[in-house]
Amino acid sequence: MKPAPFRYVRPSSVDEAISVLVAEGYGAKPLAGGQSLIPTMNFRLALPAVLVDLGRLDELRGIREGGANGDADGLYIGAMTRHSEVERSAAVRERAPLLAEAMPWIAHPQIRNRGTVGGSLAHADPAAELPAVMLALDARIHLRGPGGDRAVQFCDFCTGFFSTALAPDELVTGVEIPALPNGTGTAFEEISRRQGDFALVGVCAALSLDAGGTCTRASVTLLSVGDGPVCAKTAEDALRGRALTPDAFRDAAEAAAARDIDPPADIHASAAYRRQLTRVLTTRVLETAARRAAGA
Amino acid sequence: MGETLTIRLTVNGNEYDRSVEPRLLLSDFLRHDLHLTGTHVGCEHGVCGSCTVLVNGESVRSCLMFAVQADGAEISTVEGLATPADGSGIPHPEDADLHPIQAAFRESHGLQCGFCTPGILMTLVPFLEENPDPDEEQIREALSGHLCRCTGYQNIVKAVRLAAGRMRS
Amino acid sequence: MSHDTTFAAPPAEAPARPRQVGASPLRNEDRRLLTGEALFVDDVHLDGMLHAAFVRSDYAHGILKSVDLTAALEHPGVVAAYAAHDLGDYWEPGPLLVPPPPIEQLEFHAATQVPLARDRVRHVGEPIAVVVARSRYEAEDAAALIEVDIEPLEAVSDLEGGLRPDAPRIHDHLESNLAAHVIQRKGTWEEARESAHRVIKRRFWYDHGASAPMENRGIVADWDARSRELTVWDTTQAPIPIRNGLAAMLGLPQSEVRVIAPFIGGGFGPKIMMFYPEEVLLPWISMRLGRPVKWIEDRQESFFATTQERGQDHEAELAVDEEGLILGVRDEFLCDTGAYNPYGLTIAINTQCTLLGPYRVPHYHSEFRMVFTNKPIVTPVRGAGRQHGVFVMERLLDRAADELGIDRVEIRRRNYLTPEEFPHDHEIIYQDFRPLVYDSGNYAEAMDRAAEMIDYSGFESGVRAAARAEGRHVGLGIVSYVEGTGVGPYEGARVGIEPGGRINLVTGVGTQGQGHFTSFAQIVADQLGVGADEVEVVTGDTARFGWGTGTFASRGAVVAGNACHAAAVLVRKKVLTLASSVLGAAEEDLDLADGLVRVVGSGESVSLGDLAARANPLRGAVTPGTEPGLEATAYFGPERGVTASGVHAMILEVDPDTALIRILRYVVVHDCGRVINPMIVEGQIHGGVAHGIGNAFYEELVFDEGAQLLNASFMDYLLPTATDVPTIETDHVETPSPLNPLGVKGVGEAGAIPVGALFAQALEDALDIDGFEVREIPLSPNRLFELIRDAREEG
Amino acid sequence: MLIESEFMFDVPPEVVYDGLLDPDILASALPGTDRLDLTGEDRYEGEMEASVGPVTAARFSVVVELKDKVRPESFDMHVDGKGKAGFVNGIAKVAFEAKNGGTVMKYRADLQVGGRVASVGQRLLESVGKMMSKQGLEAVSRSIDARLAPADGGAVATTGTGLASSASLPATGGKRKILLIVLAIVAATLLVLAL
């Protein structure tokens, strides 16, 4: 279990990194935190010819209050920000509590000390927490390539199984999380075999209530039940415009489990078991989010 | 051997300049290039935690890092935990030279075969700095990134409590 | 130099006041382990050392048509590469380690593993070629260049299917895939069935798993032609048999082979297996190349290259009377032995014997068939088939209790053998070839204590009622087991006192983390009146001690421990004899304490160091008929194994909606005879229980129908972590074994044995769904979800 | 590993069946195919490379043979793919039934996946199968759309929805397109190797 040989390049700026990607073409792979890539290389299931180490791109690191487009209450997280930095950030706790709640579920502290936000989003593992969270929060992901910068809504970024809208010569530079409307409550929970394992199922919810207690905005996303993060649209429909009663949660959870997903089976969970966990977990997460919304 | 690169880094306070292949894992670099074999390798896919070391004060899996990535870093391994020996080679009868976590592991029988132990110790050093008074749940969560096949973890938890108490006072 | 060797019982027990045995001194080995100084095999670094990597079969079964090493040999850094045909006469199947015991009419067919596959591959991961290069990285690069052509054959993956007449045959020299067929009987089962009030019949599946020590296997071999010494560092639990075997294979005298098992990072059974192909090849390669060679198994390889333990399919019947007394048991089972069976019948016989448990079973019919499959080799893993038997018996008793309306603790109590019934002969043969005779025990007391600790009588109105009020489902489990431990043939030890007063203890048994450096030291310390930390223990180096077998079958403390004791008693005798003449006092008036021999009642004393110096004089003469030095070697060989036992109890919470579980309490009452070091014994139990929890709910080797293993990594083969294993509350019952002077019994495997049966009972108790029965282990949340769903749909 | 699927065609079985004997456009439908040659009667050999997520090592050679052909009812497709990261082999049984003037094609592949991809990648195997199947069908749909558009002068609705689903194709699809569909499914099963 030793990686195959590769060439190693350590650019000192994003533009330099991109020019390396352009020059090397297919076979060059950006190395962010490496916590998914390096084990795959150790198994010799990934054989990149060139690794472009983004570790010294300090310009991609850090958490900034305020979004890119003057959204003063938003949040911007640089791609090379480590999970542990996000986990400890007071700004994240205050402005994106859903993200803060999800962070401890990502693997173990030793992995979070190396893994990066941009790396996880670009990797797009369907069992990963961050893509589902970003989808629930309607985040915008910022990319840079030889043609310059562009931003993509997160729902358009994930295109399928380990697939994204990121071009081979582009890098994720950061992700922008808009402020949530007042009266919004969020919640995250997942079930895994052991602490830190890949989720069997995970659920993110963001519910907004009006003064009368009617749900005005519902965002329910799921992980580990499809090709990528799944937006539970019929579940959301079952919530919007309704008072958030136990019946509403049950209907939404049932919709999520029965209609929004086509879960894969593996040795740890059959499709039927994933549906059942989705049902139970969605109910729980919605209850928590609604309670928080009511208190918000 | 393919292309090599020169790296400079500090391990347990000592500076090293070495020429390495880019693909050399940090775990192998420490063990086989620097002969610091106290860091153990159990799975090479980031699950077992045996190879945990500190990179700039943070616990990381050294099997999930290339040595070239550690260029310029300060690394701590289990060999650096105890107070440097006085050269006599005679172990202190009361284990006074051991780090309080090491001593607590011995007193609590927190190790059996001892293979996973160095990695666990390296996780606990920053953990107890950040959480000087952890409860059992926090301790078990902190340990959950390590596999131990011998102890059933019970005496490791006991050792962490003992060490935490001593380090607080 | 060795003197005073004896195989007989040691001289009359010295009047040592137990000070160290029974206490828990801190472990002598810990400092080295905690500071990173301890030497493990992968820590060995030698100048000019080369590194080996293996090419292994991707196919479970196939014809090996060709192996082309050309590209690998041309790869930079590669020094050599070998396939089977390169080995010439050295290529030979491994030895049958455990031939079948003397059981009448048994059928046994041996097929042992080969160093490199020659014309057939029989399991995924079977080695086909080996590359030797300057680094492991380069060796793996080159291994990827070796072209292997395999024509796939249909694979045998299930036990029943493997025995069908049209099943693909794995070994051409055998007529079928039947490895063994064994029947053991006691009394007449048919009689029991005829007279029974009820006969309960069930089919059970019990699968075991990987040993998964944190340290993978590894070997460093170094042939020095000038000193004519082959040194082999090996992660083995049995260095001496490895030395003997290697010497024979390589045509060297045993004196030119030194095998060192340094610190071993856990073994749990498979590191006793021999000879692994890598063990055979590395020394041979070192001799051919004249350079040291290292191979360290990686984690992925370990799932194929290291032996494992797997499943048994039981069809069992229990005949009981109206009172729940056992009249007889019939059990018929299939046992997977993998592609080869170097370990013979060991696992299945353990199952057969352990099934009887702590119970009086007048009639027993047990029949098994071992089946070759295209899966990795099966050899014992912690428990070694015992858990399979315990599962069957405990499950049947649970059903009997249900059907007869008898409390589950009560039905066990009614059937326990009582202390007056020992020795109790079960009239069948055990794995050590000796009759299965229990030496001692007090099962009812262990049950009483466990029931009290878990508050069995108060559970319903207490914990359960409280949980129910909150809509939670909790259940209690409580089960018994008996475990044969400490089997022969023998171990030896040498104890010596140096002129400086240092005390040395050398044994050959090896260690895998069980604290031998401390518990053996305690045994010697008591005889010589010193502290355990003053006894330096060396183990696992054939240059230091050349006789012994190894650490397996929970035998270290029993067999090697008693050898240490015997040697220490002899040295004590020498000390007293010499001190008597030095101090001019009768031996009876002497006392050993604090490294001194004192004359009781007077202030006169002499130190052990002084005595050692006097015993090895530079001038004058050693009295004829005496020997120099204060040193003795002794051996201990038990007449037969000793019987440890215990009761485990747990309270478990289940969420029927998610099928997730939480262990709320776990209690173990254990009897391992006299306890040498309670701290170490408890640690062994904790680890065993964790291993058992893994077996019951987390760990499963998942093979598909083509015998491909689907979870050969720690991502998917789930060892329990700190958040999965509860705090374990322990207590001891001590019934010293009459079969050895220390009165000890083994403990290494105990914790792991009854956990599956316990889970099953606790789950049923917690869920209380009609028709919900657990007849299989391992479970998982997914499997539990299915069982709950099926029971509800049927109900 | 079992992969089962069912497809509806609007052309009769004979047309569907005959379409499968045309080898020349297969490669373009298979992602990552370097070459695919007809090397004997009903025998194709090729080299493929696939990547999924971080996995880039799934380069393999593949042999596909058609056997037991019963025109226009059924044939078996023997698949043998080998690579450094593992192998896949097995038999795909393909059967055609006339229904309402069209054809129901049933496809059942019993495949053995082995080696590293099986032992390390189990979590992703089924998803990969689904994804590749879906991608293959989408590629086929696009190809058919492109071919039929000029002739029919209008858009053609085709769907590709993955495993255990059906794809309905227009009557004038022609045999080449049908070949594409079937071989895309084979590709899907082979690309399971990609983990």
Q: Is a pLDDT exceeding 80 seen at residue C6?
A: no
Question: Is A123 within 8 Å of chain D by CB?
Answer: yes
Q: Give the model confidence (pLDDT) of D16-53 as tens digits.
A: 777 666 665 455 545 566 677 788 888 888 887 766 66
Is this complex scored with an ipTM above 0.85?
Answer: yes
Q: Which chains touch A (3 or more CB pairs under 8 A)?
A: B, C, D
A5 to chain B: which residues are within 8 Å by CB?
A: 2, 21-23
- Which C positions 270-299 lie with beta carbon below 8 A of chain B? 298-299
Q: Which residue of A has its CA nearest to D119?
A: A43
Provide, as residue numbers in chain C, all residues whose Cβ is less than 8 Å from the Cβ of D91. Answer: none
Q: Using CB atoms and an 8 Å cut-off, which of residues 514-573 of chain C contact chain B?
A: 514-515
Chain D residue with CA closest to C147: the answer is D84
Q: Is D110 on the interface with C (CB under 8 A)?
A: no
Cα distances (angstroms) measured from residue B102 to each of B37, B81, C30: 17, 8, 9
- The pLDDT value given to residue A70: 63
Taking the C-alpha atoms of residue A4 and residue C215, their distance in angstroms, rounded to an integer, is: 23
Please tell me the distance in Å from B130's CA to the nearest CA on chain C: 20
Point out the residue among A36, A126, A268 whose CB comes nearest to the CB of D54: A36
Q: Is the pLDDT of residue D173 over 70?
A: no
SS3 B62: helix
C795 to chain B, closest Cα gap in Å: 38
Q: Which residues of A touch D131 (CB under 8 A)?
A: 160-161, 227
Q: For residue D32, what pLDDT is reported? A: 60
Is A201 in contact with A268 (CB distance < 8 Å)? no
Mean pLDDT of C254-283: 95
Question: What pLDDT, in 10s, does the model give residues C685-707?
Answer: 999 999 999 999 999 999 999 99
Q: Does C721 touch chain A (CB under 8 A)?
A: yes
CA–CA dist C390, C352 (Å, integer): 10
Spatial neighbors of B14 by CB under 8 A, at least 6 apart, are: none
DSSP C39-108: PBGGG---TT-EEEEEEE-SSSSEEEEEEE-HHHHHSTTEEEEEEGGGGGGG--PPP-SSPPPS-TT-EE
Q: pLDDT exceeding 90 applies to what percent of chain C?
A: 87
Whether D122 and C710 lie within 8 Å, measured CB to CB: yes
String of DSSP letters for A55-79: TT-GGG--EEES-TTS-TT-EEEET
Residue A44 contacts C, CB cutoff 8 Å: yes
Q: Whole-number mean pLDDT of chain B?
A: 93
* A45·D55 Cβ contact <8 A: yes
Tokens of C137: 């990285």
Q: Inter-chain contact D112–C708, Cβ cutoff 8 Å?
A: yes
Closest by CA to C482, choosing from C561, C387, C378, C362, is C387
Would the CA dihedral through C743, C747, C751, C754 be positive or negative?
negative
Counting as contact any 3 or more CB pairs under 8 A, the partners of C are: A, B, D
**Chain B residues within 8 A of A81 when measuring between CB atoms:** none
Q: CA–CA separation, D83 vs D62, rounded Å?
A: 9
Q: Name the residue in chain B with its Cα closest to that of A51.
A: B22
Q: Which chain A residues have a beta carbon less than 8 Å from that of D57?
A: 44-47
* Contact state of B106 with C31 under an 8 Å Cβ cutoff: yes
Chosen for mutation from B154, B161, B162 (greatest number of chain C CBs closer than 10 Å) is B154
Of D116, D119, D123, which to mutate for an interface test with A (greatest number of A Cβ within 10 Å)?
Answer: D123
Alpha-carbon gap: C712 to the closest alpha carbon of chain D (Å): 5
The nearest alpha carbon in chain D to C704 belongs to D1
Q: Is the per-residue pLDDT at D150 higher than 50?
A: no
Evaluate if residue C126 carries a pLDDT over 90. Answer: yes
Residue D187 has pLDDT above 60, yes or no: no
pLDDT at C339 over 60: yes
Write out pLDDT tens, residues A29-50: 999 999 999 999 999 988 999 9
Report the predicted TM-score, pTM, of the whole model to 2 decimal places: 0.93
For D56, the closest of A48, A123, A160 (CB atoms) is A48
Q: Above 80 in pLDDT, residue D148?
A: no
C3 within 8 A of B78, measured Cβ to Cβ: no
Tell me which range, A115-129, C539-553, C741-755, is most confidently predicted by mean pLDDT.
Answer: A115-129
What is the C-alpha separation between B142 and B124, in angstroms, rounded? Answer: 8
Average pLDDT over residues C60-85: 98
Average pLDDT, chain C: 94
Containing A131, the helix (H) or strand (E) segment is helix A129-136
Lowest pLDDT segment from B32-46, C330-344, C619-633? C619-633
Closest-CA residue to A129 (of A267, A232, A222) = A222
Residue range C516-547, pLDDT digits in tens: 999 999 999 999 999 999 999 999 999 999 88
Local confidence band at A108 (pLDDT 50, 70, 90 cut-offs): very high
Task: Tell me if B153 sits within 8 A of B141, measured CB to CB.
Answer: no
pLDDT at D50: 65
Give yes or no for residue D147 having a pLDDT over 50.
no
* CB distance C688 to C696 below 8 Å: no
Q: Do C60 and D89 touch (CB under 8 A)?
A: no
Which residue from A46, A161, A266 is facing D54, i.e. has the nearest CB? A46
Which residue in D87, D89, D118 is closest to C710 by CB distance?
D118
Q: Which of B64, B72, B81 is nearest to B128 (CA)?
A: B81
CB burial class (10 A; 0-12, 13-18, 19+) of residue C214? buried
Torsion on CA atoms D113, D119, D124, D127, rounded to nearest 10 = 20
Task: Please state the rounded mean pLDDT for residues C361-375.
Answer: 98
pLDDT tens profile C153-167: 999 999 999 999 999
Peptide bond between residue C433 and the one before it cis (omega within 30 degrees of 0): no
Q: C58 and D116: CB-CB below 8 Å?
A: yes
Residues paired with residue A203 on neighbouring β-strands, in sequence order: A189, A222
Identify the burial level of D195 via C-beta atoms within 10 angstroms of its C-beta, where 0-12 means exposed, 13-18 middle and 19 or more buried: buried
pLDDT band for position D106 (cuts 50, 70, 90): confident
pLDDT in tens, C773-786: 999 999 999 999 99
With an 8 Å Cβ cutoff, the interface of chain B facing chain A consists of: 2-3, 5, 21-23, 25, 28, 44-46, 49, 52, 55, 58-61, 63-66, 68-69, 123, 127, 141-142, 144-145
Of A9-23, C491-505, D146-160, least confident by mean pLDDT is D146-160
Q: Do D125 and A266 make contact, defined as CB atoms within 8 angstroms?
A: yes
Q: What is the pLDDT of residues C563-608, one digit of tens each?
A: 999 999 999 999 999 999 999 999 999 999 999 999 998 889 999 9
- Arithmetic mean of pLDDT, C108-121: 97
Q: What is the pLDDT of residues C499-520, one digit of tens each?
A: 888 999 999 887 888 889 999 9
Cα C519 to Cα C143: distance, rounded to the nearest angstrom:
44
Distance from CA of A228 to the nearest CA of D (A): 10
Asked if residue A173 lies in contact with residue A149, where contact means CB atoms within 8 angstroms, the answer is: yes
Residue C370 pairs in a beta bridge with C180, C335
**Can you tell me the distance from the alpha carbon of C456 to that of C651, in angstroms, rounded to the nearest whole number?**
10
What pLDDT digit, counting tens, does each position of C172-182 carry?
999 999 999 99
Q: How far is B72 from chain C (nearest CA, A)?
A: 24
Q: How near does any CA of chain C get to the CA of B85, in Å?
A: 11
Q: Quick count: other Cβ atoms within 10 Å of Cβ D132?
A: 28
Residue with tokens 């109790």: C424
Identify which of C136, C721, C785 has the shortest CB distance to residue A195. Answer: C721
Percent of chain D with pLDDT over 70: 52
Residue bearing the bigger pLDDT, D44 or C621: D44
